[in-house]
A and B are shown apart, each in its own frame.
Chain A
Amino acid sequence: MSRLFESYSQARGFDEAFDSEGRPRPLYSKIIDRFSDLDADDLRRIEVVVADEFRRQGITFTVYNDDAEGLERTWPIDLFPRLIAAAEWESVARGLEQRVTALNHFLDDLYVGERAAVNDGIVPEWLITSSKGFERQAFGISVPNGAHCSIAGIDLVRDANGDYAVLEDNLRNPSGISYVVENRAAMVKAFPRLFENYTVQPVDQYGEMLRRVLESMAPPSSSDRPNIVILTPGVYNSAYFEHAFLARSMGVELVEGQDLLVDDQVVYARTIHGPLPVDVIYRRIDDAFLDPVSFRSDSTLGVPGLLGAMRAGTVTVCNSVGNGVADDKAVYPYVPAMITYYLDEEPILPNVQTYVMWDADQRAAALHRLDELVVKPVAESGGYGIVIGPHATDQELDECRRVIEADPRNWIVQEVVQLSSLASMSDDHLEPRHLDLRPFVLTGARTEVFPGGLTRVAMKKGSLIVNSSQGGGSKDTWVLAENGTR
């Protein structure tokens, strides 16, 4: 092996490319061979090509911090790809499809149905009615196919044995798919030889797939070729690049709230040819800003009257309103039970071991050993507010105990998952870095899983925080075709 691997020593947990004896796993052997032929200078040259490519495409990400408006950075990608074998992916994909199907049943049950899961004691009623994501204004708004969540991002991790588990569900506005597509495009361009020995499932068809799913979400009354738009909060949003990317790849208009209007419960886009009816809105703005009549009256981002149009059934908004109740981290512990309840199936993907803080016994046990556990606020996303016990100071842990005791509903505590790791560039050599995976699950007439997803990787040695908003990077993620290794 080349000097790139010279000082490689495995991290704790599961190493995706090397077995416990340090031998390359067969899946990765050709990749490791390829990297072994190169030195740090070769990789730097490739990195420059990739970075140029991203810069030219304007692919950036905004990191919000306490100081000011936020820092715009070029999208960080590590050249060593993440590989998933076809058979392994098939099982993960079945688990994701199952989970999102159950979550959609749950949302439909709460907002349109009879609240059967609550009445049958699967999820406690108070937990629903106390969820910040439970939007009563959405009550009674039905959606085609019962698909309240058409675009889900489910965060997966692999434990010390390499088994997959669900870390959290993102059912509101999951972002990251544009990086999946652009990472691949840049890698193919900058590092074509890496692909020589593998048949990798493509990802450039995402726009086409999303368009097909959104078309299947159009109200029954709309035409064969429904008018779809993407609703963005605007250029200052951290994911604006992605909104523009999706509009371009689907060939639809990217609009802001002020570009739409509602007349007699029908949504129209203002165009130079006059108002044009809109059938499907893929919105990337939060519920609270969506319609100032129903939500924040000071919102200038949304469309006044939109909820009325949704209720009248003249337009479909994806994702629908109020999905936050199902990806509330305090509801997450109940998802496996929902799968059994709605689908009468055993969950394929398990949850991470989670303790609920409103249960006095679980709380006492967890607070006692908080230095070994992870503390998460239930309503945040993007890694904000998370405290990792083993890495926290006594002062931080005391503060955690205080806030948990004061408001147990709004915190969960989880066992630390020793995330799997994979070789990643650090200066002039490769070192293991922890990673997770966010696959995207689309639901229209049926639920489908997009191959792979966004692999997020911690940039610091030993760090378990992979969120892009917290300075994490990414890797191109390859799902191999059947017999995909040559």
Chain B
Amino acid sequence: MRLDIRYRMLFEYDVPVWESQNELRVRPRSDERQQVIARRLTTSPSARVLSFVDYWGTTVDHVGVRDPHLSFEVVAEAAVETAAQPAIEQTVPVSVLAEPVFISAHAEYLAPSSHSAPNPDLEARAHRAVVGVDDVAQQIQAMVSTTRSLLAYEPGATEIGVDLAHLVNGGVGVCQDFAHLTIALLRAVGTPARYVSGFLFAKDETTLQGDLGRPGQDDVVHVQTHAWVEAAVPGHGWFAVDPTNDVPVLDRHAIIGHGRDYDDVAPVRGVFFGQATPQVETEVVIERMAPAARSVITDEPRRVNASEMTVRQQRMQQQQQRS
């Protein structure tokens, strides 16, 4: 699916701040399932942006504003072509998850992380839910179902950083909570799991069940960033599920990046000097484009060396051949 995604974030301060420094993780990445065709990042006040790919493969933009300012705006635009992920073709016995080589390679996705830390009650629930299950894909589905039995979706119900016991006790959460809880449950039964930050083309986070609307209608949606989960399936690779919507990830999910939990892919990490109380406003506008449409987004001016350009062109050509 061709999507033009525009992410805008506006910080406003009641009194001037200065020397702000930020790391932004708000751009879709290119991977096996998704190709970024064009991208552009602008800030106001304007500043030099250092872009790099981090340990997890996420494109990060590092930007600072030294002079005193009352607002800081970031607009990240990208045109991406997404494809649906391949289905898991064969059954994989859960015993394969215990192979030492598999465990060693996925250790960081099995260990507890700050937002997906273990808790005896959840571990017990996870184990009860997989009694008699001997297929990894079914185990993943069982953990998604368990999450959904524990949480109801409620916009704005929680803040990032809520502890899982507290979350389950409250019984309501947003997409990040669904993701963190599913990850903790998956890890409890020995399935490596990671947190994914991205964009979802849908009217809101939970209306995936209905149809998408016809192309040419309902092509523009106003949303927020979305979160889902990837679980490692031996012999298959990472398989992505969206616990908030109870579906495997589709071509209307565009990925920004993944990590152990939210902290590794937080859209913004930043600090500033000053006594201000910041007001933050974020908006995401996604437009579904006709497959061959010319994007309104053009690449930001940047030096691309010849070999990189060749690789990009080749990838684009390969994609065209596939469709």
Is B50 a contact partner of A125 (Cβ separation < 8 A)? no
Q: Which residue of A lies closest to B110 (CB)?
A: A126
List the A side residues contacting B48 at CB < 8 Å: 264-265
Is B55 a contact partner of A293 (Cβ separation < 8 A)? no
Contacts A265-B50, A293-B22 given; does A129 touch B55 at CB 8 Å = no
Which of B20, B56, B105 touches A125 (beta carbons < 8 Å)?
B105
Q: Does B31 contact A (CB under 8 A)?
A: no
Size range of the chain B interface in the assembly? 20 to 34
Residues of B within 8 A of A (CB): 19-23, 47-48, 50, 52-56, 62, 64, 66, 103-105, 107-108, 111, 264, 269-271
Q: Does A113 contact B (CB under 8 A)?
A: no
Which of B53, B264, B269 touches A293 (beta carbons < 8 Å)?
B269
| Complex Cα gap A139–B105 (Å) | 18
Which segment, of A305-313, A344-352, A471-479, faces chain B? A305-313
Is A129 a contact partner of B271 (Cβ separation < 8 A)? no
CB distance from A460 to the nearest CB of B (A): 40
**Given known contacts A136-B55, A140-B53, what 13 new A-B pairs fall within 8 Å (CB)?**
A125-B105, A126-B105, A130-B107, A137-B55, A261-B66, A262-B19, A262-B64, A264-B47, A264-B66, A265-B50, A293-B21, A297-B269, A304-B64
Q: Does A426 contact B (CB under 8 A)?
A: no
Residues of A within 8 A of B (CB): 124-126, 129-130, 136-137, 139-140, 261-265, 292-294, 297, 304-305, 308, 311-312
Is B62 a contact partner of A305 (Cβ separation < 8 A)? yes
List the A side residues contacting B62 at CB < 8 Å: 265, 305, 308, 311
List the A side residues contacting B103 at CB < 8 Å: 126
Is B54 a contact partner of A140 (Cβ separation < 8 A)? yes
Is A294 a contact partner of B269 (Cβ separation < 8 A)? yes
CB distance from B97 to the nearest CB of A (A): 14
| Complex Cα gap A136–B109 (Å) | 14
List the A side residues contacting B66 at CB < 8 Å: 261, 263-264
CB distance from A240 to the nearest CB of B (A): 25
Which of A129, A137, A264 touches B107 (beta carbons < 8 Å)?
A129
Is B104 a contact partner of A311 (Cβ separation < 8 A)? no
| Complex Cα gap A297–B20 (Å) | 13
Contacts A264-B64, A293-B22, A293-B271 given; does A308 touch B50 at CB 8 Å = yes
Instruction: Choose among A124, A126, A311 the residue with the greatest number of B CB atoms under 10 Å from its CB.
Output: A126
CB distance from B67 to the nearest CB of A (A): 9
CB distance from A435 to the nearest CB of B (A): 39
Is B54 a contact partner of A305 (Cβ separation < 8 A)? no
| Complex Cα gap A222–B48 (Å) | 20
List the A side residues contacting B64 at CB < 8 Å: 262-265, 304-305, 308
Closest 9 CB pairs of A and B: A126-B107, A305-B21, A139-B55, A308-B62, A136-B55, A129-B108, A304-B21, A264-B48, A126-B104
Is B108 a contact partner of A262 (Cβ separation < 8 A)? no
Is B50 a contact partner of A311 (Cβ separation < 8 A)? yes
| Complex Cα gap A94–B200 (Å) | 58
Is B107 a contact partner of A294 (Cβ separation < 8 A)? no
CB distance from A46 to the nearest CB of B (A): 53
Is B271 a contact partner of A304 (Cβ separation < 8 A)? yes
List the B side residues contacting A126 at CB < 8 Å: 103-105, 107
| Complex Cα gap A294–B270 (Å) | 8
Which of B105, B111, B271 touches A292 (beta carbons < 8 Å)?
B271
Q: Which residue of B lies closest to A292 (CB)?
A: B271
CB distance from B319 to the nearest CB of A (A): 27
CB distance from A140 to the nearest CB of B (A): 6
Is A261 a contact partner of B19 (Cβ separation < 8 A)? yes
Contacts A265-B62, A305-B64 given; does A139 touch B54 at CB 8 Å = yes
CB distance from A115 to the nearest CB of B (A): 11
| Complex Cα gap A265–B22 (Å) | 11
A-B contact pairs, 17 of them (CB 8 A): A125-B105, A126-B104, A129-B107, A139-B54, A262-B19, A262-B21, A263-B66, A264-B64, A293-B21, A293-B23, A294-B23, A297-B269, A304-B19, A305-B62, A308-B23, A308-B64, A311-B52
| Complex Cα gap A304–B103 (Å) | 36
List the A side residues contacting B22 at CB < 8 Å: 293
| Complex Cα gap A125–B271 (Å) | 33
Q: Which residue of A lies closest to B103 (CB)?
A: A126
List the B side residues contacting A129 at CB < 8 Å: 107-108
List the B side residues contacting A304 at CB < 8 Å: 19-21, 64, 271
CB distance from B68 to the nearest CB of A (A): 13
| Complex Cα gap A311–B21 (Å) | 14
List the B side residues contacting A297 at CB < 8 Å: 269, 271
Is A308 a contact partner of B21 (Cβ separation < 8 A)? yes
CB distance from B46 to the nearest CB of A (A): 11
List the A side residues contacting B264 at CB < 8 Å: 136
Q: Which residue of B lies closest to A141 (CB)?
A: B52
Which of A125, A136, A293, A294 touches B104 (beta carbons < 8 Å)?
A125
Which of A130, A140, A265, A292 touches B55 (beta carbons < 8 Å)?
A140
